[in-house]
């Protein structure tokens, strides 16, 4: 969690969708469950890449792959994904999927080159009453929030 401010700044700078689950509280809970599935790449103490992995007991998942603009095309994303795949394999995870917004053509192409089969899917989500966040991302306009 000591890297959280730099991680969050990187995610915002590269245009990743920041959601309530990306808050310090939610990320801290995630790290207590599977700390080995959060990979952070650093260059001279600066966070330059991340990938957040998860395991639902059946499949591995990759979220929030991000690389600082200054470090793109240097193999950072490939190294982060390879490290995450290695850790997942060591945990016995048989398959990994990555969640990518279809509009993010750079990520779609990256994952194709990394050997992933890109599939067209839709995501559906629902906040459970006891877990609904009290605040939302700074990217959501107040009129878009539920009360």
| pLDDT at position 134 over 50 | yes
Q: Of 54, 101, 62, 102, give the one whose Cα is nearest residue 80.
A: 62
Domain ranges across the chain: 4-144
pLDDT at 122 over 90: no
Strand 46-55 versus strand 60-67 pairing type: antiparallel
User: Residue 134, Cα to own-chain centre: how many angstroms?
Assistant: 22
How far is residue 79's CA from residue 48's CA, in Å, rounded to a whole number? 12
Whether 141 shows a pLDDT value over 50: the answer reads: no
Architecture of domain 4-144: 3-Layer(aba) Sandwich (3.40)
- Whether residue 104 has pLDDT greater than 80: yes
Cα–Cα dist 21/115, whole Å:
28
Determine the pLDDT at residue 60: 94
Q: What percent of the chain has pLDDT over 70?
A: 88
């Amino acid at each position: 969690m000591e890297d959280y401010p730099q991680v969050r700044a990187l995610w915002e700078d590269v245009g990743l969708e920041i959601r309530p689950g990306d808050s310090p509280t939610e990320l801290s809970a995630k790290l207590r469950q599977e700390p080995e599935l959060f990979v952070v790449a650093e260059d001279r103490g600066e966070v330059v890449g991340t990938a957040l992995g998860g395991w639902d007991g059946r499949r591995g998942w990759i979220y929030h792959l991000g690389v600082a603009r200054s470090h793109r095309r240097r193999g950072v994303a490939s190294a982060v994904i390879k490290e995450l795949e290695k850790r997942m394999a060591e945990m016995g995870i048989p398959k990994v999927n990555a969640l990518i917004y279809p509009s993010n053509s750079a990520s779609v192409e990256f994952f194709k080159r990394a050997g992933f089969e890109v599939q067209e899917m839709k995501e559906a989500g629902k906040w459970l009453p006891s877990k609904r966040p009290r605040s939302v991302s700074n990217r959501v306009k107040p009129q878009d929030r539920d009360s």
